Amino acid sequence: MISRLTLRLGAGRPDHPLPLLVALAGGAALAIAMDVHRSVAGNAFLLPLVAALILLPAAFLVPRITLGSAGRRRWELLLRGGLAAGIVAGALVFVLIPGSVPGRPGIPFQLLMEGAALVALTGLRARPPLGRLHLPVLLGLAGAALLLVVASFPQPPIDVWVFHRDAALQLAGGGNPYAMDFPNIYDAAASERYYGPGVVNGDRLAFGYPYPPATLLAILPGQVLGGESRIALVGAILVAAACIAIARPGPLARGAAGLLLLLPPLPFLITYAWTEPVTLALLAASVAAACRAPRWTGVALGLLIASKQYVLAIVPLMLLLLRPGSGGRDLGRLGFLTVGTAALVTLPFLLWEVAPFLRAVVELQWIQPYRPDSLGLGPAVTVLLGTPAPFLLAAGAAAGALLLALIRAPWTPSGFALGSALVLLVFFALSKQAFPNYYLAAVGGILVAIGAARIEPDPEVAAEP
């Protein structure tokens, strides 16, 4: 039983800039690992991945430094500098590295992204030149660039795109997307690597839509209205950036939103239709709600839980969203609204046909095969143990990361986002399979944490010159 005193003590821990700066460095290392895994053969990704696995836990362990007004300004300038460096690096990758973007979006894409980078950099000023137009212009430039990438790569050779397309059309036509099957677009050898036992049935895949309902509902408008599910994924990443920018408006929030849109792996992830932009958008919306409209926090959290199976790992971190002075009743209200929203979205599909839903959303995840080409430590662990990394290893490490976050993170919306990034990073890195798309929620969670941080001088030294 969680006591009122425990909640009050935890909710008194404020945000601090040093952990955020260390986490930003970890996020940069993770983004590099994502891009290296995509573009370079072999295990070159291991060095930046290990760096991320060191830096992100370290962000929770660094000692707190007493902050006065001058100290707060210095640390904020360091964070702004880190965000600026990331924005510039992302812009340079898009221009200087051939093949960094799938398809052939050409010079218009580069011009739009360079324009977005310039706008993002101006957002780091106390008063951006564009004023209130800053965020709409940033989102418009980046959104147009990402849509160009989608248009230049109309049929990505990946099953996820087929799942989105066919499931959305099935639901729009009144059919159950969890009780259907899909065409198998891979040959026999690839199918054996990608799917578990009993999944492939001739040229069909014997399961329905493999993601929870919130993701399906999110991509539905893009497919039905625009004829392309990835339009909704572009929209989701823009929503995530907007939520970061408005959580606590200021230079850090604007810079974090800009950096998200300039992440080098982003065009690749959207082109291949991976679902993580939806999960990240709902994570950012949960944090923005906690900062700006607390009554809606539970609704956003419920949608987040109903978006992807692995989100269940961060559910206990919702404690960090409780405000100072909160008690058991506040926790109960938040929990009720969260669970109620998740149930409202999920139960209609579950009860439509129980067995197919459970097979697609639950059983399929358990029987997925070990992937030696994963972006993680799973292959190395497999070599050491002589057997694929067991689920208990990833679950135990994630539990340890969860405990570290609950003990050391600030009990704030920023702390929730940072703790979520840590738990997801550790869980993915030790799982039997993980790929660049998995880590978008971790990198994005760090940027959400920076955007939502309220960095204030310590009361006892706030009056220093």
Q: For residue 182, what are the β-bridge partners?
A: 205
From residue 364, how far is each of 69, 127, 265 by CA, in Å? Answer: 53, 50, 27
Q: Which residue has the tokens 């993170």?
A: 409
Banded pLDDT at 464 (limits 50, 70, 90): very low
pLDDT > 90? residue 326: no
- Per-residue tokens: 241: 């950036």
Smallest CA-to-CA distance from 284 within 255, 306, 267, 260 is with 260
Average of per-residue pLDDT values in the chain: 90
Burial of residue 164 (number of CB atoms within 10 Å: 0-12, 13-18, 19+): buried
Coil vs helix vs strand at 3:
coil
Pair 222, 273: CB distance under 8 Å: no
pLDDT recorded at residue 461:
52
Contacts of 74 (CB under 8 A, 6+ apart): none
Q: Global pTM?
A: 0.94
Give the per-residue pLDDT at 465.
43
Residues counted in the chain: 465
Cα 44–Cα 41–Cα 107 angle in degrees, nearest 5:
100
Give the C-alpha separation, 439 to 446, whole Å.
11
Query: Does the pLDDT value for residue 64 go beyond 80?
Result: no
Task: Give the residue-averaged pLDDT of 290-319.
Answer: 94
Question: Which long-range contacts does 199-202 make (Cβ < 8 Å, 24+ apart)?
Answer: 199/364, 199/367
Alpha carbon 179 to chain centroid, angstroms: 28
**pLDDT tens digits for range 132-176:** 999 999 999 999 999 999 999 999 999 999 999 999 999 999 999
Which DSSP symbol is given to 375? Answer: S
Token pair for residue 274? 């991976």
For residues 277 and 307, the answer to whether their CB atoms sit within 8 Å is no
Above 70 in pLDDT, residue 2?
no
